[in-house]
């Protein structure tokens, strides 16, 4: 029902069984050591010029800023509250005003690639989570400015997304059942992929 979907069976683990559940076990906790492994996965992701133009703010369910930050979630993302931890991604939007002149942190980061790199770091977290028997679900549905305010994100960074991490709990009732039963779909390969030139859909044969 969830993963692997028939098309994704060709993939290797942990790509094969990755999917984005919305029903998390509210009693599950992620050990600090496991959280550290997850953030290391982000840290070792590639980035343009090795700029690593992002910061992750790690929130543990029920601890510190978690409750205040949850108030910034969009209505459709109330499910995030039950995740064991949330990694909020913030992308660097300009040079650090306090950085040493000439240092990496003082340099401008092209916005498109900063977002690209942040997404890539997030993807690495989701795959590391799966490899550890956990599930991850990325989301953008929150008041990004309010979230930045709650977490004290400085002006040269902007909150971009969150990664909810935890243990999947099969839902038994409510809208999560319908939500998680939805088939996972992708655009047809001929629409999304090209073989050597734009006008040749993949596979061209
Ligand atoms: C940048 C980004 C933002 C997303 N925002 C939300 C969101 O606000 N709420 C949500 O439930 N899912 C969100 N998702 C999850 C996608 O809906 C999901 O990845 C997509 O439907 C494919 O499903 P799969 O991850 O199970 O393959 C987001 C994913 C990404 C990468």
Separation CA 177–CA 193 (nearest Å) = 32
Q: Tell me which of 8 and 157 has the higher pLDDT.
A: 157
CB 87 within 8 A of CB 58: yes
Q: Is pLDDT of 205 > 80?
A: no
Q: Is pLDDT of 203 > 90?
A: no
The distance from CA 101 to its chain's CA centroid, rounded to whole angstroms, is 32
Could you tell me the distance, in angstroms and rounded to a whole number, from the CA of residue 20 to the centre of ligand 1?
7
Average pLDDT score over the chain: 94
Q: What is the 3-state secondary structure (H, E, C) of 102-152?
A: CCHHHCCCCHHHHHHHHHHHHHHHHHHHHHCCCEEEEECCECHHHHHHHHC
Among residues 83, 95, 67, the alpha carbon closest in space to that of 20 is found at 83
Q: Is pLDDT of 119 > 60?
A: yes
Could you tell me the distance, in angstroms and rounded to a whole number, from the CA of residue 129 to the centre of ligand 1?
16
CB 49 within 8 A of CB 105: no
**Arithmetic mean of pLDDT, 11-30:** 96
Residue nearest to atom 14 of ligand 1 (CA): 139
CB 159 within 8 A of CB 148: yes
Verify whether ligand 1 is closer than 6 Å to residue 138 (CB atom): yes
Q: Which CATH number fits domain 27-179: 2.40.50.140, 3.40.109.10, 3.30.200.20, 3.40.1360.10?
A: 3.40.109.10
Could you tell me the distance, in angstroms and rounded to a whole number, from the CA of residue 59 to the centre of ligand 1?
19
Verify whether ligand 1 is closer than 6 Å to residue 157 (CB atom): no
**Arithmetic mean of pLDDT, 70-80:** 97
- pTM value surpassing 0.85: yes
Residue nearest to atom 20 of ligand 1 (CA): 20
Query: What size, in residues, is the chain?
Result: 205
Q: Interhelix angle for 111-131 vs 32-43, to 10°? A: 140
Separation CA 47–CA 120 (nearest Å) = 8
Give pLDDT, residue 57. Answer: 98
pLDDT in tens, 131-145: 999 999 999 999 999
Q: Tell me which of 168 and 8 has the higher pLDDT.
A: 168
Q: What is the DSSP letter of 67?
A: H
Q: Tell me which of 86 and 174 has the higher pLDDT.
A: 86
Verify whether ligand 1 is closer than 6 Å to residue 189 (CB atom): no
Phi, psi of 169 (to 5 degrees): -125, 115
Give pLDDT, residue 142. Answer: 98
User: ω into residue 124 within 30 of 0, thus cis?
Assistant: no
Separation CA 104–CA 95 (nearest Å) = 9
pLDDT in tens, 91-111: 999 998 998 998 877 888 788
Q: Which residues have C-beta within 8 Å of that of residue 118, sequence separation ≥ 6?
A: 53, 54, 89, 91, 160, 161
Separation CA 85–CA 185 (nearest Å) = 27
Could you tell me the distance, in angstroms and rounded to a whole number, from the CA of residue 141 to the centre of ligand 1?
9
């Amino acid at each position: 029902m969830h993963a692997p979907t028939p098309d994704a069976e060709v993939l290797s683990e942990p790509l094969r069984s990755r999917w984005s559940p919305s029903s998390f076990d509210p009693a599950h906790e992620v050990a600090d050591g496991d959280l550290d492994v997850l953030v290391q996965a982000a840290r070792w992701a590639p980035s343009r010029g090795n700029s690593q133009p992002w910061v992750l703010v790690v929130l543990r369910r029920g601890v510190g800023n978690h409750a205040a930050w949850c108030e910034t979630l969009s209505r459709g993302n109330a499910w995030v509250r039950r995740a064991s931890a949330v990694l909020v991604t913030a992308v660097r939007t300009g040079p650090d005003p306090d950085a040493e002149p000439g240092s990496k942190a003082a340099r401008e980061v092209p916005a498109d690639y900063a977002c690209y790199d942040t997404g890539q770091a997030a993807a690495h977290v989701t795959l590391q989570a799966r490899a550890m028997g956990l599930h991850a679900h990325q989301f953008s549905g929150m008041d990004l400015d309010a979230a930045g305010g709650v977490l004290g994100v400085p002006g040269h960074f902007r909150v971009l997304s969150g990664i909810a991490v935890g243990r999947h709990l099969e839902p038994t009732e409510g809208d999560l059942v319908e939500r998680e039963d939805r088939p996972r779909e992708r655009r047809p390969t001929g629409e999304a992929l090209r073989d050597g030139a734009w006008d040749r859909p993949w596979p061209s044969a």
